[in-house]
Amino acid sequence: MKVLAYTGTKQTEIRDMPLAEVTEGQVCIDVHQCGICGSDMHAWHGLDERRVPPLILGHEAVGTARNGCFAGQRVVINPLMGCGSCSACTSGFEHLCASRELMGLRMPGAFAEQVIMKEDNLTAISDGLKDRDAALAEPLACAVNAAQLAIHNIPDRDASVHVIGGGAIGLLAAMVFAARGFRYIHIAETNALRRDMLAKAGDFIAYDPRDAIPNSGHIDIVLDAVGSGRTRAAASAMVRPGGVISHIGLQDNEPGLDTRRITLQQIHFTGSYCYSKLDFTEAVQLLEDGKITGEGWAEIRDLEAGVQSFIDIHDGNAPPKIILRI
């Protein structure tokens, strides 16, 4: 089968590779589309020792099941797998399982004509849901979790929300806040190409944080979708006393978080990793209901353009999301 293989630091290439054997409880899926995630870029940059080349990356996928109870149906893939028996899994927090695994991490991913996944990790979708939007289910589930953690502490829909980073996760988080009824949503993004798209993707104010941060020090909710030392420092300064920082970005582990201010001003800081099955279900429903789409900001490219797509994202010449059509 044809795949886009990660072959080394900043290197990908189109290859022919065999499909692994399907075992009991697994389904072979003909992949239609798969989005490029920030974690795929992290691996491509050679910064994820868990992803050892040669490896097929990709975990934001939609396709058609070949076998099992979903045979012949279009499905979206929940690529996150827990052990199923630990306290985290049995209490609905599979994403916190100590033995969790992710498709495209150590097992083959979905930048391929076919991929294998556990049947329990598949969700059938309606004929009306476009492949492009269905491929957003996984990153949207991440955004649902990150937004919900903030809303749990500040449920007031008149609260001010500032999202740092206008990539797919940041934009999707802004869309989740909007879908939940929040009205005052800003997105900080340094890339002018993305800012233009963000302003058209919803009722958001997209701004360049290098110019000024509106209402800094008085913001109710700050969601850091970048996760660098600089953005943690910015989030620490932006949020109001008693406010919330929801931290989902994983760019680096550099200093920047102002723990003194967080303590003295009783600011809630929460890390957000992936999603529960309930978050994933909510994400699919938001897409099915048409409340969130990739219209105007998610670009579809053929698999053969995958090599250049990684380069374009690295160079800042890409929209918030590139989805590869297999």
Residue 20's pLDDT is what? Answer: 87
Strand bridging mode 122-124 / 74-77 = antiparallel
Alpha carbon distance 162, 157 (integer Å) = 13
Alpha carbon distance 288, 286 (integer Å) = 6
Domain count for the chain, please give it: 2
Give the residue numbers spanning the domain of 118: 2-136+293-325
Does any domain span residue 299? yes
Residue 23's pLDDT is what? Answer: 93
Regarding whether 218 and 129 lie in a shared domain, the answer is no
Residue range 313-320: average pLDDT? 95
Alpha carbon distance 283, 135 (integer Å) = 11
Alpha carbon distance 271, 269 (integer Å) = 7
**Residue 300: CA atoms inside 13 Å, Cβ hemisphere, count?**
14
Alpha carbon distance 268, 274 (integer Å) = 19
Regarding whether 7 and 92 lie in a shared domain, the answer is yes
Contact 53, 13 (CB under 8 A): no
Does any domain span residue 286? no
Does any domain span residue 201? yes
Confidence of residue 186 (pLDDT cuts 50, 70, 90): very high
Residue 199's pLDDT is what? Answer: 87
**Strand, coil or helix: 306:** helix
Regarding whether 321 and 232 lie in a shared domain, the answer is no
Contact 61, 125 (CB under 8 A): no
pLDDT over 90 percentage in the chain:
98
Alpha carbon distance 40, 13 (integer Å) = 14
**DSSP state string for 240-256:** EEEEEEEE---S---S-
> pLDDT tens digit string along 133-161?
999 999 999 999 999 999 999 999 999 99
> pLDDT tens digit string along 23-33?
999 999 999 99
Regarding whether 213 and 155 lie in a shared domain, the answer is yes
Does any domain span residue 276? no
Does any domain span residue 99? yes
Alpha carbon distance 176, 170 (integer Å) = 10
Helix ranges restricted to H, the chain: 38-44, 87-90, 131-134, 137-153, 168-179, 192-201, 229-238, 259-264, 277-288, 306-315
> pLDDT tens digit string along 86-121?
999 999 999 999 999 999 998 999 999 999 999 999
Q: CB atoms < 10 A from the CB of 324, how many?
A: 24
**Residue 288: CA atoms inside 13 Å, Cβ hemisphere, count?**
13
Regarding whether 129 and 157 lie in a shared domain, the answer is no
Give the predicted TM-score (pTM) of the model.
Answer: 0.96
Residue range 24-47: average pLDDT? 96
Regarding whether 6 and 109 lie in a shared domain, the answer is yes
Does any domain span residue 287? no
Regarding whether 169 and 76 lie in a shared domain, the answer is no
Tell me, what amino acid is at 63? Answer: G
Alpha carbon distance 88, 82 (integer Å) = 9
pLDDT higher than threshold 90 for residue 12: yes
Regarding whether 157 and 216 lie in a shared domain, the answer is yes
Tell me, what amino acid is at 147? Answer: A
Regarding whether 43 and 13 lie in a shared domain, the answer is yes
Regarding whether 165 and 89 lie in a shared domain, the answer is no
Residues 6+ apart with CB under 8 A from 307: 4, 12, 13, 14
Alpha carbon distance 122, 156 (integer Å) = 34
Regarding whether 158 and 126 lie in a shared domain, the answer is no
pLDDT over 70 percentage in the chain:
100
> pLDDT tens digit string along 189-248?
999 999 999 989 999 999 999 999 999 999 999 999 999 999 999 999 999 999 999 999
**Strand, coil or helix: 220:** strand
Q: Per residue in 232-243, is it b (16+ CB within 10 Å) or e — as a string?
A: bebbbebbbeeb
Alpha carbon distance 110, 117 (integer Å) = 10
Regarding whether 132 and 7 lie in a shared domain, the answer is yes
Question: At 29, which CATH number?
Answer: 3.90.180.10
Confidence of residue 50 (pLDDT cuts 50, 70, 90): very high
The tokens describing 194, both together, are 């993305």
Mean pLDDT estimate for the chain? 96
Residue 262's pLDDT is what? Answer: 98
